[in-house]
Structure 1
């Protein structure tokens, strides 16, 4: 159920199924979503941990001079507290949330926006992602991508979305960039 955003998560929970029951009162659904988001905002970092080797790899990449950004479909207001809770906020040039622009992943616009903001070509960027939306967004704008085999990909093999590379260990990014 996780990985498609809070609204769908709550709708699925209320439906007690991965299929959303549209007969549930929309006002009730909105109240449930508001309760969930309020709770989530107050508890963002309690059980949030980075996957193995992510923090050390990000620090190494930053030290080597790479510019790091985040494009997530998570609401913008939640991103900074999570990054600060993980102790990695300062590693990123900036970040976009799913509500930062009109379009979100899997559309190409968020990645194109990042390139424009940094004044770099898509060919000088790399999307590293754990979901089909990450890879599809990169594919849609012609950006290279690396898919990781863990995370929020709905139980699907990330390779079916055609990333340039697939890794099991986040630290492998460093050797792929050489």
Structure 2
């Protein structure tokens, strides 16, 4: 039951650490249904609370949960390089991406904002984005950043350091 899972997750540091390391594995191990897993993946506090309330058969006006699933995390990008002066379409793999996510490449002060073409949220999240690599941008490694819909600052984004290389 989702209620039991969320209640235990709020108070059990080991379960929290396990969940941060392998959210899908923990949700399977804890016996969540596919619907419950999708609700947890959404990271939507209201949606999680509504599901718990439905399961318990009670009514609450305001969310009572104050724990959220982990922030999005990038595991890979493919292809992981592109040529200056060209466009490249990449697939960024990870966990806990959500609709409205944004993608960016960054090296120092150089920011290349991707045009997100699609976001898949489960079970293995992926973002497809197109980047226009200017002819005059520096070659070398760039960090890959994924921002959630409500995230604005780079320190809030999921980051894959040096995950993409711009070539001549």
Would you call these one fold, judging by a TM-score over 0.5?
no
**Structure with greater helix percent:** 1
The TM-score normalised by the length of structure 2 is 0.26
Give the structure with the larger strand fraction.
2
With the length of structure 1 as denominator, give the TM-score of the two structures: 0.25
